[in-house]
Amino acid sequence: MGKMADALERAEQKRSGRNKSDMFLHLPGRRRWSEWYGFAKPNTTEQLEAISPPPPLNIVKGLSEEIVSYYDRSSIVCEQYRGLRTRLMSANPTQEHRIFGVSSAVPREGKSVTTANLGFCFAEIPDLKVLIVDGDFRQASLARLLNIDQEPGLADMLCGQATYDDVVRPTPLPNLFFVPAGRTRGRSATELFSGRTAKATFARFHREFAYTIVDTPPAATVSDVGIIGQMTSGIIFVVRVSRTPEPIARRAIRHVLNNNVPILGALVIGEDEPSAGYGKQYGYYPYGKRDYDATPPQG
C-alpha cells in the first residue's frame, strides 16, 4: 500500500481514536486580525517589530479571515500552502500552464478554503497570472469567502446568459482573478460541464492563466468531478481526519481514477488541538500510479 492509501489509513485511525499519527505536522491555527493587536503596547520600536506580523497588502472589507494566505502571511499554515504550491510548481519544470481541480470525498472538508488559499499563494509570485474558479454549483462557497457577487458566473456563461468577460472578476491581488459559480437556471451541472462551451472555456483558462485552480464538488456524492477532472491537469484531494471515513475516501478516489483523471496528491488536514491554543495539522502526500488500488467497487 502506497503513500495515498497509507495517509487515508492513518486518517481513519486518528478519526476513530485508535492512535495518534506522527506523520501529521502540528501547525498553529488562524487568529483574527484584531487579535494580533491585543497585546499591551510595547515601549520600543524593536519590541513592536518582534511581536507584530507583517501587515497584509490591504485590509479588504468582507474578505474572509479564512484566507490566511492573504491576512496571515507569516503563519506556519500559510507556509504549508506555499509548500503545496512549491511541490506543484516543481512538478512543472517547463512552466506549462496548468489547471488543478480541488476535491474531497464529502462536503465541509475544506476544499473551498484550500482553493482560495492556494490561489492567493500562487498569486504571491508577481509574474504569474492566476485564476480560481468555483465549479461547485451546488454549494458555491468561494464567492462568500472573497465577498464577490455570485452572479453572473460560470454556470450563467455555460447557459449562454453571460460572456467570458462578464464572469472573470478581479480580486485584491492584481494578478489573481476569480470566476464565481453563477446560476444553473434549471440545468444540471453534469449537462453544463459536458457541453462544448465548457471545454472551450477551460481551454481559454488554460491559454490565458499560468495556473487555474478549480473548486469541484465532493467526489463521493456527485459525478461532476469525473467530468471536470478531464479538463484539468489533475485533482488534489482534501481529506479531513476528523470527518472523512476511510471507505468513503477510497470510493471517491476510485471514482476519479475510473474516469481517467490523475490524482496529484492528498492534502490531509488534522483535528484542532485545544491544548495548543490554536492548531490544525496539515500534511501533503504526493500520489503515484502504484499508490492505490483502482479496482472498481463491487455491487
For 50-78, the DSSP string reads HHPPPPPS---TT--TT-HHHH-TTSHHH
pLDDT score for 224: 84
C-alpha cell at 114: 484550500
Has residue 70 been placed in a domain?
Answer: yes
| CATH number of the CATH domain containing 246 | 3.40.50.300
Contacts of residue 114, Cβ cutoff 8 Å, sequence gap at least 6 = 81, 102, 236, 238, 267
**Does residue 234 belong to any structural domain of this protein?**
yes
Secondary structure letter of residue 283 according to DSSP: E
Domain that holds residue 22: 3-286
Question: Is 44 part of a structural domain of the chain?
Answer: yes
Nearest Cα to Cα of residue 132 among 158, 96, 170? 170
Identify the residue whose cell numbers are 506556519.
Answer: 76
**Is 95 a domain residue?**
yes
Q: Which residues pair with 285 in a beta bridge?
A: 266
Residue 53 lies in a domain: yes
DSSP state of 100: E
The domain total for the chain is 1
Number of other CB atoms surrounding residue 34 within 10 Å: 8
Q: Say which DSSP state 236 is in.
A: E
- In-domain check, residue 299: no
Domain presence at residue 291: no
pLDDT tens, position by position, for the chain (299 residues)?
A: 455 556 555 555 544 443 433 323 233 333 333 333 333 444 454 544 454 445 556 678 888 888 988 888 888 888 888 888 989 998 999 999 999 999 998 888 889 999 999 999 999 998 899 999 999 998 888 999 999 999 999 999 999 999 999 999 999 999 999 999 999 988 988 899 999 999 999 999 999 999 999 999 988 777 788 899 999 999 998 888 777 788 888 888 888 888 889 999 888 876 444 333 223 444 444 444 434 433 333 33
> Does residue 281 form part of some domain?
yes
